């Protein structure tokens, strides 16, 4: 056992910052424009208080849940984040092993720096695949078919990125985005994609992402895969209802880690509106800003079926490789278990809306 292991996600973040070149740390850690939403994703959790219930026998805590029929020992999953080789030479293979060791579901990013095939053969686990829709539909379709044939169990369609958000740190750093391994042989790369005038990710995204992406494309996606499709990037009741109408198997309340539209609401602030709109028709997940087990508890209380953590796992990977990524997931699991025990909840089903007090609740109480 190593001495002085980090004891929480924030300590992993400090180690990750030390371990990574500034350009890469800023890329992972940064958000769009003023980074209001980036700060708010975390700050909004701080404004939700817990309402613990006491004198309940909590000698056994069961954190298990199911998603799309798959069992998980806890509701904490791994969010899709790109380019894990920036953090560790083993990249997404290391993350996949860490997630598998915790028996949780990893959503592999379209922007993975390891091939889908390598990740699929690295270990047995339930995995989902995250998709961007390219102007070149054939490229997106090929990746969906590859993921499906390799045993991925669902497609997570990112719907908040018809164009790339403006990340000023990347522009300033002239961020060089790593090539996307999975596009090898599918698209020719423009070697001219230098960083003249800013981040080359911006230029690459501009050339590839389809800004005409619309609800019709969900129909297109359904026509090319039999996998369930979850829509990631929804923060309003209107879009949540539409997602159910078009046959989404799940809705992920996400603002892309605050990397897209600045001044979008914190995801935990948007969660309840989406949960109410969906009215139990499909599971609702949330990501963004989760740094503590108590954050996970708050998300469950506000109706999330599961949560996804992105940057914390990346910090673990950057600091200590596969062991660090695994430790981050384990720590969050232990923190959630503790929060449940101290709130008097023996199972995730026992975590209810009455266990949290939101800012809205406090304002309503004054009226
Ligand atoms: C292919 C262009 O999700 C990020 C990633 C990558 C988005 C651009 C995709 O940096 O937020």
ipTM: 0.96
Mean pLDDT estimate for the chain = 95
Q: Is the pTM of this model over 0.90?
A: yes
Whether 161 is covered by a domain: the verdict is: yes
- Residue 216: count other Cβ atoms within 10 Å of its Cβ: 10
Q: Would you place residue 318 in the very low, low, confident or very high pLDDT band (cuts 50, 70, 90)?
A: very high
Active site residues: 256
Whether 218 is covered by a domain: the verdict is: yes
What is the pLDDT at residue 364? 94
Q: Which two tokens stand for residue 337?
A: 């278990």
Q: How many domains does the chain have?
A: 1
Positive/negative CA dihedral, 45, 46, 51, 55: positive
Question: Does the beta carbon of 200 sit less than 6 angstroms from any atom of ligand 1?
Answer: no
Chain segment 55-86, per-residue pLDDT in tens: 999 999 999 999 999 999 999 999 999 999 99
Give Cα 206 to chain centroid, integer Å. Answer: 23
> What number of CA atoms fall less than 13 Å from residue 206's CA on the CB side?
9
Q: Would you place residue 17 in the very low, low, confident or very high pLDDT band (cuts 50, 70, 90)?
A: very high
What is the pLDDT at residue 161? 97
Residue nearest to atom 9 of ligand 1 (CA): 205
Whether 348 is covered by a domain: the verdict is: yes
Whether 203 is covered by a domain: the verdict is: yes
Q: Which two tokens stand for residue 198?
A: 């800013």
Phi, psi for 137 (deg, rounded to 5)? -55, -30
Mutation pick for ligand 1 pocket among 259, 264, 287 (CB with most ligand atoms within 8 Å):
259
Mutation pick for ligand 1 pocket among 32, 41, 164, 206 (CB with most ligand atoms within 8 Å):
164
Residue nearest to atom 2 of ligand 1 (CA): 205
Q: What is the CATH number of the domain that holds 128?
A: 3.20.20.70
Query: Are the beta carbons of 22 and 173 closer than 8 angstroms?
Result: yes
Give Cα 30 to chain centroid, integer Å. Answer: 15
Average pLDDT over residues 225-232: 98
Whether 230 is covered by a domain: the verdict is: yes
Phi, psi for 24 (deg, rounded to 5)? -80, -40
Domain of 274, in residue numbers: 9-366
């Amino acid at each position: 056992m190593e001495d002085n292991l980090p004891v929480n996600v924030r300590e992993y973040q400090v180690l990750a910052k030390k371990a990574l070149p500034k350009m890469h740390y800023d890329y992972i850690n940064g958000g769009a424009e003023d980074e209001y939403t980036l700060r708010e994703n975390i700050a909004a959790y701080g404004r939700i208080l817990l309402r613990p219930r006491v004198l309940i026998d909590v000698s056994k805590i069961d954190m298990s849940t199911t998603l799309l029929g798959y069992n998980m020992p806890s509701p904490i999953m791994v969010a899709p984040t790109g380019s894990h080789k920036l953090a560790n030479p083993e990249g997404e293979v290391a993350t996949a092993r860490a997630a598998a060791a915790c028996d949780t579901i990893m959503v592999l990013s379209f922007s993975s720096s390891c091939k889908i095939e390598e990740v699929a053969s690295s270990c047995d686990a339930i995995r989902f695949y995250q998709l961007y829709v390219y102007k070149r539909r054939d490229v997106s379709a090929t990746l969906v078919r590859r993921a499906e044939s390799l045993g991925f169990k669902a497609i997570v369609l990112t719907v908040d990125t018809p164009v790339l958000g403006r990340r000023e740190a990347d522009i300033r750093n002239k961020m060089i985005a790593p090539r996307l391994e999975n596009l090898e042989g599918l698209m020719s790369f423009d070697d001219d994609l230098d960083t003249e005038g800013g981040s080359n990710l911006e230029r690459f995204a501009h050339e590839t992402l389809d800004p005409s992406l619309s609800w019709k494309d969900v129909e297109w996606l359904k026509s090319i895969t039999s996998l369930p499709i979850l829509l990631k990037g929804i923060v309003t009741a209107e879009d949540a209802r539409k997602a159910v109408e078009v046959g989404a198997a799940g809705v992920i309340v996400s603002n892309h880690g605050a990397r897209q539209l600045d001044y979008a609401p914190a995801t935990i602030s948007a969660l309840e509106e989406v949960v109410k709109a969906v009215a139990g028709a499909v599971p609702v997940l949330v990501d963004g800003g989760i740094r503590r087990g108590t954050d996970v508890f708050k998300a469950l209380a506000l109706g999330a079926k599961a949560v996804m953590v992105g940057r914390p796992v990346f910090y673990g990977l950057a600091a200590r490789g596969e062991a660090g990524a695994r430790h981050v997931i384990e720590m969050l699991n232990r923190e959630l278990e503790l929060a449940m025990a101290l709130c008097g909840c023996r199972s995730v089903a026992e975590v209810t809306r009455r266990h949290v007090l939101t800012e809205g609740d406090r304002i309503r109480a004054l009226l």
